[in-house]
Amino acid sequence: MQPLPNMRFAPDLLTSQVALVTGGGTGMGRATAIEMARCGADVVVLGRRAEPIEDCAKIIRELGRKAVAISTDIRLPDQIDSAMLRIKDEFGRLDILVNNAGGQFVTPARELNNKGFETVIRNNLIGSWQMTKAVADHFMLEHGGSIVFVTACVRSGLSGFVHTAAARGGVLAMMKTLAFEWAEFGIRLNCVAPGTIKTEGMDHYPIDPEQWLKLNRNVMGHMGDVGDISAAIIFLSSSLGKFVTGEEWYIDGGETLHLAHDARQMIDAVKFSRREPAVLKK
Ligand SMILES: CCCCCCCCC/C=C/C(=O)SCCNC(=O)CCNC(=O)[C@H](O)C(C)(C)COP(=O)(O)OP(=O)(O)OC[C@H]1O[C@@H](n2cnc3c(N)ncnc32)[C@H](O)[C@@H]1OP(=O)(O)O
Ligand SMILES: NC(=O)C1=CN([C@@H]2O[C@H](COP(=O)(O)OP(=O)(O)OC[C@H]3O[C@@H](n4cnc5c(N)ncnc54)[C@H](OP(=O)(O)O)[C@@H]3O)[C@@H](O)[C@H]2O)C=CC1
């Protein structure tokens, strides 16, 4: 488990709010669920495996907030419906949804078959849609709320991840469409796109984190931590973000500043010499 960040927001920021975090048992979802509880929210922690979500709910209860862990696969509508009924019973309302659950595998597109593509679309796009529609139908179309999707930095594609690039691009378009259609119901929707964040989820990838740092284009020189992402999610979910909807927020340590990175290499090449630019020497 990654260490939790220090408390960053006012302890009453989310008082009287009920939040649901998918994938809340690990990584960024866990950090967000716990940080929301520290801000006064009651929290529903959702994921497939019982143990991590129960652990997270236990921590939240120790903080003095109400928490319920519900084992649910976001791809399965029947399980989602049961989860909604349980939330209605336990809390009676739901104000915040964080669509964080997701995952994929690295593969060159030429080696990806249709089943693999569909698997990742179902997990990341259809799962997020199903959760969003259920939460709107059961709660938010009646009393409003805030929905944040955790996506990925796919503005220029994501080599090795064509399936997830397609899914996350779909989530972005879905979010913007719903932000327009559901504004009249008091529902705000936004995306947070993490760069490379140190979580247990990264263990699924066959690459050493240090090697990854050399390969990526993060200008900070280190990976982000779970608190970098939970802070953005809480800002957007809470009254701090009350005038923000339909937005996508890249929290990536400058990983997508490709032009700035290229310019830095050029500056290194000329060694700050105006009279004798290295590029002209030979
Ligand atoms: C380097 C850069 C690092 C660094 C990367 C940094 C940038 C990336 C941004 C994102 C970072 C993160 O998300 S961080 C981590 C988040 N967590 C994860 O990614 C979790 C890891 N992934 C998974 O759990 C799974 O792969 C998941 C996608 C959910 C699918 O699980 P399921 O159990 O539903 O599916 P399975 O039954 O396993 O597989 C269904 C089919 O999918 C295909 N399939 C599944 N796994 C496959 C695999 N490894 N390789 C090929 N194909 C596969 C096959 O066609 C399978 O069918 P058959 O052939 O018939 O079996
Ligand atoms: N770490 C990074 O650098 C980046 C991560 N992301 C995305 O951010 C999100 C969080 O990732 P991170 O914290 O790193 O990784 P984790 O693997 O720790 O988190 C993913 C969580 O989602 C849950 N989950 C996955 N599939 C389902 C499903 N079908 N139904 C319910 N729950 C599910 C998992 O729990 P369980 O298996 O028990 O269901 C797990 O708790 C993911 O969507 C990820 O793809 C995006 C860009 C970069």
- Write the pLDDT tens digit of every residue in 101-123: 999 999 999 999 999 999 999 99
The answer to whether the CB of 40 is under 6 A from ligand 2 is: no
pLDDT at 279 exceeding the cut of 80 = no
Complex-level ipTM: 0.95
What is the pLDDT, as a whole number, of residue 209?
A: 67
What is the pLDDT, as a whole number, of residue 206?
A: 74
For residue 28, give the ligand 2 atom closest to its CA: 13
The answer to whether the CB of 253 is under 6 A from ligand 2 is: no
Q: What is the mean pLDDT of residues 168-181?
A: 98
> Is 224 in contact with 194 (CB distance < 8 Å)?
yes
What is the pLDDT, as a whole number, of residue 270?
A: 56
**Mean of the per-residue pLDDT values for the chain?**
91
What is the pLDDT, as a whole number, of residue 220?
A: 87
For residue 103, how far is its CA from the centre of ligand 2 (angstroms)? 5
CATH code of 18-256, in short, is: 3.40.50.720
The answer to whether the CB of 21 is under 6 A from ligand 2 is: no
What is the pLDDT, as a whole number, of residue 213?
A: 67
pLDDT at 68 exceeding the cut of 70 = yes
Smallest CA-to-CA distance from 168 within 126, 197, 130 is with 126
pLDDT at 24 exceeding the cut of 90 = yes
The answer to whether the CB of 88 is under 6 A from ligand 1 is: no
Q: What is the mean pLDDT of residues 62-72?
A: 98
Note the ligand closest to the C-alpha atom of 167.
2
Note the ligand closest to the C-alpha atom of 28.
2
Distance CA 88, CA 71 (A): 16
What pLDDT, in 10s, does the model give residues 202-240? Answer: 888 877 767 776 666 688 888 899 999 999 999 999 999
Return the residue whose CA atom lies nearest to atom 33 of ligand 2.
Answer: 101
For residue 274, how far is its CA from the centre of ligand 2 (angstroms)? 49
Smallest CA-to-CA distance from 192 within 49, 32, 33, 11 is with 32
Distance CA 37, CA 14 (A): 8
Backbone angles phi, psi at 57, to 5 degrees: -60, -35
Q: How far is CA 215 from CA 97, 108, 131, 240, in A?
A: 34, 17, 35, 35
pLDDT at 129 exceeding the cut of 80 = yes
For residue 278, how far is its CA from the centre of ligand 2 (angstroms)? 46
